[in-house]
Structure 1
Amino acid sequence: MSIAGAPIARIVVGVDGSEPSLEALRQAQRFATPLGAKVQAIACWEYPQVYSGYVMMGIEGFEEGAKKILDEAMEQAFGTELPANVTASLVRGHPREALIDASRDADMIVVGRRGHGGFGGLLLGSVSSAVVAHAHCPVLVVHTPEGGAHAAEGS
C-alpha cells in the first residue's frame, strides 16, 4: 500500500494520554506493521503565557509532566515491550502547530477524536480539526470503540 505511488514509511501519532490518543497509537501500530512503516508518537508541551506567575506559585515541571504522560501512554498502549518500529518524541509547542509541522515529513498523521459520548462524541476536537484541515499528508482520525479501547479486539 502506498500514498500517491510512494510507500508509507513514517506515521506520526499525536499523543496526549487520553484514551482516544492511546487508541490512535494502537491503530497506527496495527496499520504500520504490515507496511514496514515507522511510528513516531509525539507529545507536546509548552510554557503557559504567564509562565513567571506559575513559577512564583511554585508550579513548574511542564516538560517533565508531558514526558511522564508520554511514557505512561506508551506503556498503556504497548505494555513494557515497546514495538521495534515505534519511537516517542517530546516536542515543545502547541499540538496543532507541532503535528501540522510534523506532517511535512510524514506519510500519514493519526490522531484521536475527542469523544464525549452522545452528540458531543460526534465532534472533533480543536487539534484533530486543525490537523485534518491543514496537514501536508493524509490524516486518519481514530475514535475509541464503544465499551472501551479493547472492545473491538474481543469481538
Structure 2
Amino acid sequence: MDFKGSQTIKAPRSLVWKCLNDPEVLQNCVPGCQSFTAASDDEFLATVTVSVGPVKANFKGNLKLSNRVEPEGYRIAGQGEGGIAGFGKMNAEVALSDAGEETVLSYVADAEVGGKLAQIGARLVASVANKLVAVFFQRFNDTVSELAAQQ
C-alpha cells in the first residue's frame, strides 16, 4: 500500500519540526494510540489498538527515525506485531517546506501487512489505513496550528 499527501499547517516550520519530534504530540495524534514513548533520540515505542473489519488487535511496535535534517524532514521506519492479527511494516519520508508564514508537510509512505490482516482483503485494509493516515495528519495539523495561535 502506498500513501502520499500534504498538509498546509498554520505554523512556522520550527514549531512543526518540534512537534514532529514530540512523543506527547504524536501520541495524541495517532488514532488508537495507548502509549508512545521515546526509547532514544531516534526511536519510539508504541502500543496502538486498530480495528480492521472483524479483526481488532493491539499492536506493539517501534518507529525509528533516520536521515534527520532539522527542520527539513526525516525518514521513518516502523513495524508492529499484533499477535494472531498479524503484523505491519511501514517506511515513510516526511518533508517540510515554507509557504509564507505557514508550513507544508509532505509525506510519501509504503506499508505492508501480514497474517490475518492480509487475509481480510487489500481493499478493506487499504481503506482503513488511508483513514488512519488522514486522521493522524488532520489531528497533527489541528494541534500544531492551535499551538501556533497561542504563541
Structure 1-normalised TM-score? 0.30
Query: Per residue, is there more strand in 1 or in 2?
Result: 2
Query: Per residue, is there more helix in 1 or in 2?
Result: 1
Max radius of gyration: which structure? 1
Structure 2-normalised TM-score? 0.30
